[in-house]
Structure formats: structure tokens, C-alpha cells
Structure 1
Amino acid sequence: MLKVGDTLPAVSLQEFIEVEGGGCSLGPNAFDVPAIAAGKKIAIFALPGAFTPTCSAQHVPGYVAAAEDFRAAGVDEIWCVSVNDAFVMGAWGRDQKTAGAVRMMADGSADFADATGLTLDLTSRGMGLRSQRYSLLAVDGVVRTLNVEAPGKFEVSDAQTLLKQAQGL
């Protein structure tokens, strides 16, 4: 399982890009995690699924609301990672008004979740293999803090907990 001091997994995540530019075409674009994390301080929060109740009502809105505070704490980017495809993550991002605040990163095949060892089997609920709920700060691709939730909980991966940690780094 991923722990403090580990490097982020060497996998790709996808992001739905709505405005062409910066070398990104319209539509889903794949990004190599180590390459886009290099030289940056990144706040990452992962969750079981797009449009799910806790994720939509509390988790994502908390990070969107705190985006400027994260920037003031030296965080370059905030990523929301979920085992959904890039189209779903793009639609969820529009619904949650994340543009300019949180990058909605799709882990469609659960490669990132699997590589972190932070998977959650929700097959019995019709959702298949998903990511556990957690947050972390990575500096230059190295995990500096990690907050993994107990099953069914939302107590330590919220924006305010990670923001306090970011302010201390």
C-alpha cells in the first residue's frame, strides 16, 4: 500500500479537456503521472465514484471552495482521482464547477488505484473495483502526507485537513 515517502505510481491518468491549448487537444488526454507531477506540489484526493452522494455533496465541493487557500499554501494543482472514464469525470467536473480549481483525473481502468494498493471492491454494489477514499500531498512526485479513510467514513481526506498539512510543508 502507498505510504509517505513513496513515489506516485508510474501510470497514466486521463482528463477531459474542453478548451484546446497548452499542447492538449479537445477531449480525453492521457497524462503520465510522474511527468506532470515533476517539480510540483500537488494535492490529490481520491474517491469511490463520480456523482456519488458524499463525493458530490462534500468531497469535491470542499476542494473547489478551498482552491485559492491551497494555492496560497504553495500547492500548484489539486487533482480529484476516481475510477471513472474521462467523459464521466469531465461531466462531473462541469456539474461541480471545478474549472480552474480542481483537475478531474480519470483512472478508468483502476491502474492508479491498483498501483497505490488503495482499492475498494464494490462489486456487490454493482460498481466493481474502485478507489478507497483518501487524500495526499505529493512534492515532486513523492508522497509527503497520506490520509486514508476508514470504510464508509469521511473524516480525514477532506479539504481542510489536507490544507492544514499543506500549510505545514
Structure 2
Amino acid sequence: MAINVGEKLPEATFHVLENEGMKEYSTQDLFAGKTVALFAVPGAYTPTCSAAHVPSFVINFDRLKEKGIDTVACVSVNDAFVMKHWGENQNAENLLMLADGSASFTKAVGLELDLTARGMGIRSQRYSMLVKDGVVTQLNIDEPGKYEVSDAETLLSQL
């Protein structure tokens, strides 16, 4: 069952490859006392994710910050090495590129997507959420295969 507005994010650990090496971030580290725009993609380097989803947050980063967002983060069921390289490829240096390599966070929030039949394994549904101090205050989930409500512009309209 998917997480709902008003619910606290579950405990999970993300991996981020930084210049100094691999770093782990807990949900507590990332969300406690902060307002975070979090969005998830089915996979790094996939067509819609690369051509539209990540660019919508890169382009609107300053507008999100002006509206009080402390952190803009992208999560995907990929490893930290892929997320770092993809972030660089997308000119997303302002975004926090979170690796959920084993889909533990994705499963904990109930937003996994089984793409095994397409050779991609368990992935994340495409969504965006606004999280204030660890609690989901907005949640926009796209139907599988769609990109209609999880973009930065929709999230901005909800602030």
C-alpha cells in the first residue's frame, strides 16, 4: 500500500557517491527539520526520465528554492555510481541524486513497480512529493508509463 499525505516517511538509507567517496544518508538526515521536494524515476538514463523528468527539476530549481524548498532530491532504484554519472550528464549538480539500489525505500513507501517482464526488475513508480520534517504533505503519482503529474511545475503549483 502506497504512503499517503500526512504520513511520516519510513526509515531507510540512501547512498550518494560524492567527491570524497560513498556516503550514506538516512531519512532522518535528509528530511528532519527540512522541506524537501523529492521525486522518483523508474530508472537513470531512461528516455522520459532523462528528456523530461529530471530536466523539469533542474530548470525549476531556483523557483523551488524561492518557495522554501531546502533540498531537491531525485531517487531511483539504481546504484550510487550510476546516479552520480547520470546527475552529471543531466547538469543536475544542484539536485541530490539518491541511490535506492535495493529498492528498500521504494518498497517501504509502497511505490515499487515490477518491470521484470521488461528486463528491468523492481523499479520505482514515477512520482513527486513534498516532505516537511519527514511528513508527506503533497504526493503526485503518475500511472505506469505516464508522465503527467510528477513534474516540478505541478509541485510548484502546490506550494
TM-score bin (small chain): over 0.9
Aligned to 1:154: 147
User: Could you report, residue by residue, the CA deviation over 1:108-166 in whole angstroms, capped at 9, with x for unpaired residues?
Assistant: 00001000000000001111000000000000000000001011110000110011112
Partner of 2:84: 90
* Residues 60-99 of structure 1: pairs in structure 2 closer than 5 A: 60-99=54-93
- Determine the structure 2 residue equivalent to 1:4: 5
Kept in 2: contact 1:44–1:135 (CA 8 A): yes
SS at match of 2:75: strand
Distance in 2 (alpha carbons) for counterparts of 1:60 and 1:112: 19
Are 1:49 and 2:43 matched, yes or no?
yes
Report 1:82-161 matches (<5 A).
Answer: 82-99=76-93, 101-161=94-154
- Report what 1:59 is aligned to: 53
Any gaps of 5 or more consecutive residues in structure 1?
A: 19-25
RMSD over aligned Cα atoms: 0.7
Deviation at 1:27, TM superposition (A): 2.1
Give 1:16 shift. 1.3
Mapped contact 1:133–1:148 kept (Cα < 8 A): yes
Q: Is the 8 A contact 1:9 1:34 kept in 2?
A: no
In the superposition, the TM-score normalised over structure 1's length comes to: 0.92
Q: In the TM superposition, what is the alpha-carbon distance from 1:75 to its structure 2 partner?
A: 0.2
Letter in 2 for 1:114: K
Q: Percent of pairs identical after alignment?
A: 52
Amino acid at match of 2:8: T
Task: Output the CA distance in 2 between the equivalents of 1:92 and 1:36.
Answer: 21
> TM-score normalized by structure 2?
0.97
Which SS does the other structure have where 1:3 is aligned?
coil
Post-superposition CA distance 1:22-44 (Å, at most 9, x none): xxxx2221101123211100000
Runs of at least 5 residues in structure 2 that lack an aligned partner in the other structure = none
How many corresponding residue pairs? 158
- Deviating above 2 A after TM superposition, structure 1's stretches of 4 or more consecutive aligned residues are none
Secondary structure at the residue paired with 1:146?
A: strand
2: CA distance, partners of 1:123 / 1:97: 30
Give the equivalent residue in structure 1 for 2:18.
17
